[in-house]
Structure formats: structure tokens, C-alpha cells
Amino acid sequence: MGRVYPVHPMTLRVLGVGAALLSGSAIAQQPDTTKFHQGYERAVTKVRQDCTALRSDHAFDSPRSKLPLGEEKPILSMLTNSERIRLKDKPPADLTIKANQECRAAHSAAFAFPPPQINSMIEGVYRYQDGLNAEAYVGKITSLSAALSGIPQSPQPAAPRIAELVKKPPATPAYVSTTQPHDLVQQAELSESDELQIALQANTIDVIDAYLHRHPDSPKRIELLGKIANIRRSEFNEWTLFDIGGQRIPHYMRLSSIDQIDNKVAVQWRFLPDTSVGLFRGKQFPDGVNVEDVAVFDCTEPVYAFSERTITGKSGEVLFHYKWADPHFLILSNGPKLAPGSVAMSARNIACHEEFRTPLVGKSELASLKFPSLANTIAGDGDMFYIPIKDGNGAQSQVSVTTIIRWHEDRKISAALPAGTSIEDFARYRFEVALVQIYCAENKMSFFKEEYYSMSNNLVYLAAVDPSRQVRQVYINETWPYSTLRRIVCN
């Protein structure tokens, strides 16, 4: 005899699927009913706790007043809200959609219990919900409450197709939609031009990635990849070490500040000089100051110039500020030439190349580490993971891979710096992320970029090769974990 499956109430409301959907012959008989229920209830309890903790962040205070974020039912003011999403609402909307995606991921443990046909239905309604979210985001329907709650709205004259999407009443035990998952997906599909506009306006990597996956040959591909890179960099507001001047003066850049201006790029650059002499036209400053510049590099010619210079004291107070020009209008032709191997050339190499200036992983990705596991480090003091990256031409003779090492204990930053460097160990790192090129036939590899992250997922050090020079290749020893990686990605 069939029985009703105890689905999480929040899941039912968000998906718009009634409890009766999961009853009867669709559920296979379980050999041990008691253990089955206990396992499911434990999974659901964990989901509730995770999602409640996620949505307790004060960043959700604004959207909390406009739409139901948890298991609570929407109030009348939410359902009757006729406002469309405004530009100022998009940042909290982005957070809300992201939180919704994370809660979906948390449900995966609970969804291991239903049979495959039920999970297929859930996946179909997820896609239906995504369609509503997307159209609410670009203002085709009013507010996100309908999209997130599954509550239908009145049809809007300007969007007759949306009225077709939401004209049916919400699913209840008395009314269960017979629409199949593939029908829901078809109903939620947008035209490619609509999807493109959503992708261009979206401020979340998942939305843009989904569009590029569906339309890999889009003429806007380069623009959208650049947008993904900008979104990725925007969360890296910390100062990141990128070079050591004279083997003793640390230099930092702020990746979130990078701004591409045609063939130029502007970036905030900070260093701690060993003397205050020569910082600005003979002006005297006390010892121990910090210098923060806005540097503008020409990405076609090895020249640069400063747009601004700010000098701060030990306590962070501004001692001096001077602005030459806005980066957009700064003339670089008279700027100093960059010497190979100089700190300025290192800054230009990073700032002018998308693959170097954009972190290989996001902070949330690093925190979750949901990547394929590779092996332990040789000494057993760390764990290795990898992210395969497909080459554009599909060739297998060379494969680019992102590798991640999570060390069991913090390590001194001096261990990652070039030999001969003499600076204070100002930071420690726990994660080591690298862009690796595997040369399959030659059994060799090269490191193109290395990133070092603290336990709190701040990027403390970034090192990249000089693309104008030949990259060093090393032979892959059979005892290295990279030998296993080569067999995986090359085959």
C-alpha cells in the first residue's frame, strides 16, 4: 500500500508541489520504514537549520519585508505588491537568489530519499522557478515574491506569456498539477534574446554561466566572460601581495579595483617604501608611511603612468593626496617605459591579462571545496583537489587544470616567496590554488599562476608568469600527485 512521503514544508511551498504529488504508487516500498523515516527526518532537520542560519544574515533585512524567505507564508502586502524590481533592489535580489540556490544545494541530502521520478519532478519545477526569477529580475513580472513562493499573480498586459506561465492555481492536496517536468521546463524557457538580456543584466555568475552553457557560440560570449570575471573580482577587496621590490619591499594590488578602459587598465597599487625620499617632488614625509597609487597601464605598449597618489601614516591617516587625471583621460605616451622583471611590469602582466587578474576560484567555492579529490600531498600534510578546464580547441595534447591544495595547518607566506626574499612573515596561508598546464605527450607540466589564501579565504599572495617569456616546464615524477592528475585529464 502506498503512503504519503513527508516532504519538507518549505520545499513544497517553494516548488509549488502538493504533498499528494509524492504519495501512492510513485513511492517504492522501503524495507525498513522506521529507519527510512528517521534518516529523512534527520536530513530535513539539518536543511532547516542550514537555511535558517543562511537567511538570518542582516543583509536579507530589506528583502525579508517584501517576500517570504523561509517557511513562513507570504502576507497580503507581499502578494498584492505591484512594484517591479528597481535598480537599487538588484543587490539584495542577487543575495536572495543566491541564498535560494544554496538552500537548494542543502536539500540534496534530503532528496536522496525519494525515488528518481520524484527528484525529476522537483528538478523540473526548479527550472520553472528559475524562469520566474529571471523574468522578475528584468522587470517582466512584479516582485520576486511570486517567483520564490510559487503564488501566481494577475496577468500583466505587457507580459502575456508570463500570464500563461502562472495562470494555474497553486498546488494543494485538493489540486495537483499533472504537468510533467519536461513541460514545466518548456514553459519556463525564454527566447535566446530574452536570456541574453537577463544574462547581461544579471549580477550573478550562475545566471551568466547557464546562458553560456545553453548558447556556447553566442556573439556576446567574450563580453559575458568579462562580466563573470568582474563579478568574481568584486569580492576580492583585500590588498594582495603580488611582488617584492628589491627582494625586501612588498607590493600589493586590490583586484576589485581593476578597471579595463579600452587598451588601458587601471588598478590600485600599494607599497611600503623603505624611505620617504622621492615619493613626491622632494616633499618630506615621516618614516613608516604607506603609498597607495592608482596606476594606469597600456596593455599594448610597455608604458604606464599614475592617476593618483595617496600617502598615509602608520595609523592610516591621509598625509598627502595628489591627482594627475582621471584614468579614462590620462595620457600614457609620455609615461615611463617598463623594464622587464620590474615590479611595475609584474603589475602590468597581472592587470592586463584576464586569466591572471581574475581569481581561479570564488571565496564561497574555496570555503565549500566541492571539487574532485585528487590525493594527499606527498608528505601527507595536505589534501589535493582539481578543476578540469576544457581548452577552446578541444585538443588533448595540452590541458589546463586548476589545482587546489588545502594544507592541514597554516603555513608562513615566506615559504611561497622566491628564494632570497627578505621580508617579515606578515601573513599565513592555508590554501594553495594554481593554474597548471599539463603537456600530455611529454609528461611535463608548467605553473602559470599561483594563488595563496588564508584560512578566512582572503587572497594574500598572487604570482603569475611573464607571458612574454618562455614558461619553464618540469618533468612529472611518477610519485607526484600530478602524475595521477595527468592520467585523469589526458585520458
- Residues 106-131 have a mean pLDDT of 61
Residue with more model confidence, 228 or 166:
228
Residue 220's closest CA among 202, 191, 200?
A: 200
* Tens-digit pLDDT profile for residues 180-189: 544 444 444 5
Under the banding of pLDDT at 50, 70 and 90, the label for residue 131 is: low
Under the banding of pLDDT at 50, 70 and 90, the label for residue 404 is: very high
- Note the pLDDT of residue 153: 44
Strands 428-439 and 444-453 turn out to be antiparallel
Report the distance separating Cα 238 and Cα 173, nearest Å: 52
> ∠403-409-414 over CA atoms, to 5°?
75
Under the banding of pLDDT at 50, 70 and 90, the label for residue 338 is: very high
So what CATH class is 245-356? mainly beta
Under the banding of pLDDT at 50, 70 and 90, the label for residue 116 is: low
On the question of pLDDT at 23 being above 50, the answer is no
Under the banding of pLDDT at 50, 70 and 90, the label for residue 358 is: very high
Q: What is the 8-class DSSP label of residue 29?
A: P
Beta strands in 136-289 (DSSP E): 240-245, 249-261, 264-271
**Count of CA atoms in the C-beta half-sphere (13 A) of 268:** 14
Task: State the DSSP string of 80-147.
Answer: T--PPPPGGGHHHHHHHHHHHHHHHHHTTTGGGSS-HHHHHHHHHHHHHHHHHHHHHHTTSSS-SHHH
- Residues 74-100 have a mean pLDDT of 66
- Note the pLDDT of residue 72: 61
- Note the pLDDT of residue 51: 80
Under the banding of pLDDT at 50, 70 and 90, the label for residue 304 is: very high
On the question of pLDDT at 352 being above 80, the answer is yes
Under the banding of pLDDT at 50, 70 and 90, the label for residue 67 is: low
Q: Which three cell numbers stand for residue 437?
A: 598546464
Give the range among 179-188, 232-241, 288-297, 421-430 with minimum mean pLDDT.
179-188
Grid-cell match 583585500, residue found? 238
Q: Kindly report the CATH number that applies to the domain delimited by 359-490.
A: 2.40.128.710
- Note the pLDDT of residue 52: 79
On the question of pLDDT at 344 being above 90, the answer is yes
**Residue 73: CB partners within 8 Å, gap ≥ 6?**
13
311 forms bridges with which residues in the sheet?
291, 320
Report the distance separating Cα 289 and Cα 19, nearest Å: 65
Per CATH, 245-356 and 359-490 having the same topology is answered yes
On the question of pLDDT at 334 being above 50, the answer is yes
Element (H, E) at 309: strand 304-312
1-19 in b/e form (b: 16+ CB < 10 A) is eeeebebbebbbbbbbbbb
- Note the pLDDT of residue 142: 56
On the question of pLDDT at 420 being above 50, the answer is yes
- Note the pLDDT of residue 178: 45
Report the distance separating Cα 290 and Cα 69, nearest Å: 44
- Note the pLDDT of residue 418: 85
Residue with more model confidence, 32 or 20:
32
- Residues 286-306 have a mean pLDDT of 93
Q: Domain residues of the chain, as ranges?
A: 9-189, 245-356, 359-490
- Residues 47-70 have a mean pLDDT of 72
Average pLDDT of every residue of the chain: 77
